[in-house]
Chain A
Amino acid sequence: MRVLLFETVHDDGLRRWAISVADIVEILPVVRWRPIVGGPECALGLFERQQTLVPLIDMSMKLGAEPVTPRLGSRIVVVRVATAASTSTLLGLLVESMIGLSSIDFHASGSHSGFDAHGDSSVGRVTTSEGTTVQLVRVEHVLSESEQAAILPSSTDEAKA
């Protein structure tokens, strides 16, 4: 499975995560975004991509680390997620430190389900690669239902559009 690897910074060191290449639309440098107040804590704001406003999510916060401090290796990973109205929309994930592309088999012997019995958690299976543990981030479950309601455009918006 081809994945994009990135790292978050925690008190006890770095943790490595993987996003499936299939979900990725594009990788952007850290652009300026417009902060929006009143939304969920992890929603940083909105940025423009090809005349469309895309919500920006702080992945470090989402994955239990300190909020992202933008640096040279920081990137915005643009992914496509499915909405309730069986349409799809774009979402910007701000990752602290992008590593690069890699091929990892999350179902190899020795890997683990990552305590995800029902398959609806934002993170999934865990395995070992190049001496480090890597956990798969499931893009379609990154936002909870309430967050989706607040952040993603509703079907009525789509209809108007």
Chain B
Amino acid sequence: MSTSRLAIHQRLVGRILLLGLLPVTLVVALIVGLNAYRAYSGFVVAIERELAEATRLAAAEVEADNRAIAALVETLGQAQTDGGMFGNRAETLAYLRAILLADPGLQGTYVLYEPNADGNDARALGSSPREALDAKGRFVPYWRRDAAALEGIRLEPTVGMEDFPDYLFYLGPRKVWESTGRREVLFTKPYEYEGVRMIEQTFPLIRDGRFVGIAGADRTLDELGRQLAQSAKRLGGDYFLTTTSIDGIERYIAATTDAGVEKRARLETREVAGTPLASIIAQVPSTSGGVKVFSAKDPVLDEDCFYGVTKTETGDWTLVVRKSGGEALASIWTLVLTDTLTALGGIVVIALLLYLLARGVGRRLQIATEVAERIAQGDLTEQLAIAPAKDESGVLLNAFAVMNQNLAAIARDTRRASIGINSTATELSASAVQQEEVASGLSSSTTEVAAATREIAATGGELLGTLDAIAKSARGAADQASEGRQSVQLMNDAMRRLDEAAQSVGSKLQAMNEKAQGINAIVATITKVADQTNLLSVNAAIEAEKAGELGLGFLVVAREIRRLADQTGEATLDIERVIRQMQSAVSSGVMEMDRFGESLRACVEGGEAVGHRLEGIIKHVEGDTARVGQVTEGMRAQSAGVGQIDEAMRLLQSTAKRSSIVATDMSRASTALQDAIKMLKSAVGSFRLRD
């Protein structure tokens, strides 16, 4: 019951929540997703636009600086060739000095003549300042910054510019002019000179179609880096500036960040090829002024970045601006998070409201269902309170309550009428049945007892006969046992006599053995005598040999004695052998007699034990005979008692039979009464509830 109640309640709440919440959640999720996507694509467009703008602005600043220095260097050169300053060394020096002092962005200024280009080299050695000349008087002044010098600058000669064709700041403009006929400012590769990293801008001096020298100015890479850093600070992102000099190799000029491989200081003047950013820098558009914006995975930062790449018109430098995509994504994530949290809050509120609604309706519906179920089962005990209806389900519940009360009233009246009569009839019937059962039980018990007593009587008779037989056989056994005892006694006496005879035979054999040993001693003596006789005969023979002819007769006697001695020895050996055999026979006879005597003694002991045991048996049998007599007497008395019990039982049985007849009559009367009550119940059937 409780599980079904829970099931109905929960099912209703669950269904309402599902139907209400699922669509809302889906719609909200869709809105959040779309919003995030739109924001992201808008952000990408914006960041690309911003990046293009930043690239363009930074490039424009670099371009402005490059143009300014190009103009300066061109002016310096034209002042020499077109302005008539060529050959006027003092004025040139003053001019160079003035320019360097005026522009703090410059590292140095110089004008370098070909050897004796103005024809004054030899003369100049005496007049001009030595710092502007080489050893032969060639005019090669170089004003450069030196913090330790007066006014912060100093003059020094430039030497070896032809010796290092690799730098090209001197030979480069000449080569360009000679190959193309153009007079233009050349931007050299970035390089390090006396500890200062710099880049040079030089302009060829052409007089009467002949190359006579160059004019130029230096900028430090530090200064360029500083300017780039200012752009980065203002516009955001990382900046990289590279140039491809006339040797065809692209190198870094400046960068605002560690490229990820080495420090920024090392990146400057380095070749681009081989650095991680080479692939990005290669994306530069071929035409100057155009900006290419794209996103790619940054090989150093290992994340998606946006890049702006462009080329300056003057100097043909490449500028790369990099912005991390992480910033863009971070703002998108914030947006998505805010949206999601708001949506979740809304969904929770909706779910709560739906739950409260479903619970109220569900509970009332639950009660109505339970009441209906109980009425269906015929249970009208439930008291439903009639409450003011809150909604449609409340009205339904109230109608149930009224119906229930009316049904209960009808049923109660009917039941009250029938219960009283029925209980009386039932009691009557029950007592009649009980009495009948008691009577019949008594009857059967007495029958069983009678049968049992008869069986006991019969068994007692048989037992008596058996006991008589036992007594008779016991008596017979006692007689046989006493006969056996006498026989055993006779056997014992015979055995004892036999034992005595055996002992006397043994002692006689022992005496024989002793006699044989006496004979042995005699034989030993004879043997010794024979041995000595043998020895004597040999010695006699030897003596006879020595006596020669005289001893011949004696020799014969000695030989005969010896033969007799040998025969005696052999005879004694025979006697000895016979005696030894006799002795062993006697010894074995003595041993046999001993063993025979032991067996006899064992027999006698066994016989005595049998006699004792037979005696015990006889005593037992006699005792048993007496006891069997007593038992027989007891059995006889018991048999008589059993007969009396049987008689009494027969009387009791007839009484029980009479009582059983009376109970059967009473039972029949109560059955008639119950039939009457059944008729009354069918009469009140019209007051029952239909299913």
0/1 interface trace, chain A 1-18, chain B, CB 8 Å (1 if under): 010100000000000000
B358 CB, min distance to chain A CBs, angstroms: 129
A82 at the interface (CB under 8 A from B): no
Asked if A24 lies at the interface with its beta carbon under 8 angstroms from chain B, I say yes
Q: Does A29 contact B (CB under 8 A)?
A: yes
Tell me which of A27, A29, A72 contacts B542 (CB under 8 A): A27
CB-based contact B535/A27 at 8 Å: yes
Let me know if A64 is at the binding interface, CB within 8 A: no
Bound together, the chains give a CA A139 to CA B542 distance in angstroms of 16
Q: Are A2 and B538 in contact (CB under 8 A)?
A: no
- The reply to whether A75 and B545 form a contact with Cβ atoms under 8 Å apart is no
Contacts of B545 in A (CB 8 A): 2, 21, 101
| A72-B538 contact in complex given A2-B545, A21-B546, C-beta closer than 8 Å | no
A22–B543 alpha-carbon span in the complex (Å):
10
Name the residue of chain A whose CB is nearest to the CB of B541: A101
A-B contact count (CB 8 A): 27
**A110 at interface, CB cutoff 8 A:** no
B539: CB under 8 A from chain A? yes
Given contacts A2-B545, A21-B545, A21-B546, contact A101 B532 (CB under 8 A): no
CB contacts (< 8 Å) of A22 on chain B: these are 546
Given the complex of chains A and B, what is the CA–CA distance between A26 and B546 in angstroms? 12
Chain B residues 562 to 585 lying within 8 A of chain A, measured CB to CB, are 562
Q: Does A100 sit within 8 A of B, measured CB to CB?
A: yes
Contacts A21-B546, A72-B531; A26 near B539 (Cβ below 8 A): yes
Q: How far is the CB of B551 from chain A (nearest CB, A)?
A: 11
Query: Which B residues between 521 and 565 are near A, CB-CB below 8 angstroms?
Result: 531-532, 535, 538-539, 541-542, 545-546, 562
Closest to A25 in B: B542
Residues of A within 8 A of B535 (CB): 27-29, 75
Chain A residues closer than 8 Å to B546, beta-carbon distance: 21-22
Q: Are B539 and A27 closer than 8 Å at their CB atoms?
A: yes
The CA-CA distance from A28 to B538 in the complex, in Å, is: 10
Residue in B538, B541, B562 with the greatest tally of chain A CB atoms within 10 Å:
B538
Given A2-B545, A21-B545, A21-B546, check contact A29 B538 (CB 8 Å). Answer: no
Residues of A within 8 A of B532 (CB): 29
Nearest residue (CB) in A for B555 is A101
B563 CB to nearest chain A CB (Å)? 11
For A24, list chain B residues within 8 Å (CB): 542
What residues on B are CB-neighbors of A21 within 8 Å? 542, 545-546
A99 to B591, CA, bound (A): 44
Which A85-101 residues have a C-beta within 8 angstroms of B?
A: 98, 100-101
> Do A27 and B531 form a contact, CB below 8 Å, given A21-B545, A21-B546?
no
- Give A98's nearest chain B residue, CB to CB: B538
A72 to B565, CA, bound (A): 14
Residues from chain A with Cβ under 8 Å of B562 in the complex: 100
CB pair B539–A29 under 8 Å, yes or no, is: no
Q: Which residues of A in the span 63-110 have a Cβ within 8 Å of any Cβ on B? A: 72, 75, 98, 100-101
* Minimal beta-carbon separation of B680 from chain A (angstroms): 142
Residue ID in chain B nearest A2 by CB atoms: B545
Distance (whole angstroms) from the CB of A50 to the closest CB of chain B: 14
Given contacts A2-B545, A21-B545, contact A100 B531 (CB under 8 A): no
Interface residues of A in 104-149 (CB under 8 A from B): none
A98 / chain B contacts, CB cutoff of 8 Å: 538
How far in angstroms is the closest Cβ of chain A from B64? 138
CA distance A22 to B531 in the complex (A): 24
- Residues from chain B with a CB closer than 8 A to the CB of A75 are 535
Task: Using CB atoms, name the residue of chain A closest to B558.
Answer: A101
In the complex the two chains form, what is the Cα distance from A75 to B532 in whole Å? Answer: 11
Q: How far is the CB of A156 from chain B (nearest CB, A)?
A: 31
The residues in B between 39 and 78 inclusive whose CB is less than 8 angstroms from any CB of A are none
Closest Cβ–Cβ distance, residue A61 to chain B (whole Å): 23
Once the chains are docked, how many angstroms separate the CA of A98 from the CA of B566?
14
Q: In the assembly, what is the distance between CA of A156 and CA of B538, in Å?
A: 36
In the complex, A4→B538 CA distance in Å? 9
| Residues in chain A near residue B542, CB distance under 8 A | 4, 21, 24, 26-27, 101
Q: In whole angstroms, what is the CA distance A71 to B673 when docked?
A: 141
Residues of B within 8 A of A29 (CB): 531-532, 535
The winner among B531, B535, B562 for most chain A CB atoms within 10 A is: B535
How many Å lie between the Cα of A154 and that of B175 in the bound state? 147
Q: Closest residue to A29 on the B side, CB-wise?
A: B535
Q: Are B531 and A101 in contact (CB under 8 A)?
A: no
Q: For the complex formed, measure the closest distance between the CB of A63 and the CB atoms of chain B, giving whole angstroms.
A: 21
* CA distance in complex: A98, B542 (Å): 14
Give the distance in Å from the alpha carbon of A27 to the alpha carbon of B545 in the complex: 14
Q: With A and B bound together, what is the CA distance between A7 and B541 in angstroms?
A: 20
Shortest C-beta distance, B620 to chain A (Å), equals: 76
Chain B nearest CB, measured from A24 CB (Å): 6
Chain B residues closer than 8 Å to A4, beta-carbon distance: 538, 542
Which residues from B are CB-within-8-Å of A101? 538, 541-542, 545
Contacts of A26 in B (CB 8 A): 539, 542
Residues of A within 8 A of B531 (CB): 29, 72
| CB nearest to A101 among chain B residues | B541
Of A4, A21, A27, A101, which is in contact with the most chain B CB atoms at under 10 Å from its CB? A101
Most chain A CB atoms below 10 A, which of B539, B541, B542, B545: B542
Q: Which residue of A lies closest to B532 (CB)?
A: A29
**Pairs across A and B, CB under 8 Å, 7 listed:** A21-B542, A21-B545, A27-B535, A27-B538, A29-B532, A100-B562, A101-B541
Q: Which residues of B contact A (CB under 8 A)?
A: 531-532, 535, 538-539, 541-542, 545-546, 562
In the A-B complex, the 3 residue pairs with the smallest Cβ-Cβ separation, listed nearest first, are A21-B545, A2-B545, A27-B538
What residues make up the interface of A, taking CB atoms closer than 8 Å to B? 2, 4, 21-22, 24, 26-29, 72, 75, 98, 100-101
Given contacts A26-B542, A27-B535, 6 further A-B contacts (CB under 8 A): A4-B538, A22-B546, A29-B532, A72-B531, A100-B562, A101-B538
